[in-house]
Amino acid sequence: MKRFLLLAALVCTGITGCVPAHTQSTHLLRPGSTVVGVDGVRVSAPAKWREGPAAGVRVTITRLPRDTLQWPIRSGRRLGLPIYRVEAEVPVLTGGRDWFTVTIPTGTADPAYLFALRLSTGIADSDGPGGSFTVWADDPSATLAGNGMTFRITGFVDETHLFTATLLDVPHTRAER
């Protein structure tokens, strides 16, 4: 009788239980459609987009381990949810007032103690040769409904899109989001 030993890296967050540390799925996202990937992460596209193939674009959703990130989360911050990366194979942008949305599952976490966090790329000095920088930033425009936290973005271009939430020590009110 042959025996096999299967080892897997697990992340145990306490909120979502133990899950594989690095998991991904790839989907075809078309205008006006929604795809559901790893852990139930949903990516929705507006009915029309300004740039990108009309037939759709391949989108990869990945759950990332915190300790291997190129952009570390500030010490003192406690993660309340796994970190998810959403990437498109080619750039796509919205047209007009529409948004792409990324909804990450909150599981059994108390929404009053979660605050949205996403990786943001900014310009260091718009009047000079400064360049861009990438940092984690609070996202007060993200919304909580049901068992999901929804982020709005104008598109998927060259920068890395990472989404998560931090745990607060005290609950916040709706006005604080």
CA distances from 54 to 50, 64, 100, 153 (A): 9, 30, 15, 19
Which of 13-17, 47-51, 89-93 has the weakest average pLDDT? 13-17
Return the beta strands (E) in 30-160 as ranges.
34-36, 42-44, 49-51, 57-64, 78-79, 83-88, 92-94, 100-105, 114-123, 132-138, 143-145, 148-153, 155-156
Average pLDDT, the chain: 79
Which of 11-20, 74-83, 144-153 has the weakest average pLDDT? 11-20
pLDDT at 3 over 80: no
113, two tokens: 């103690």
CA distances from 73 to 64, 163, 173 (A): 13, 12, 24
Nearest to 77 by CA among 176, 169, 163, 170: 169
Predicted local distance difference test score (pLDDT) of residue 2: 40
pLDDT at 13 over 60: no
CATH architecture, domain 22-169: Sandwich (2.60)
Digit-coded pLDDT (tens) for 85-136:
999 999 999 877 899 999 999 998 888 888 899 987 654 555 555 556 677 8
Query: Residue ranges per domain, the chain?
Result: 22-169
Distance, CA of 91 to CA of 89 (rounded, Å): 7
Instruction: Provide mean pLDDT across the span 34-44.
Output: 97
The model's pTM is 0.78
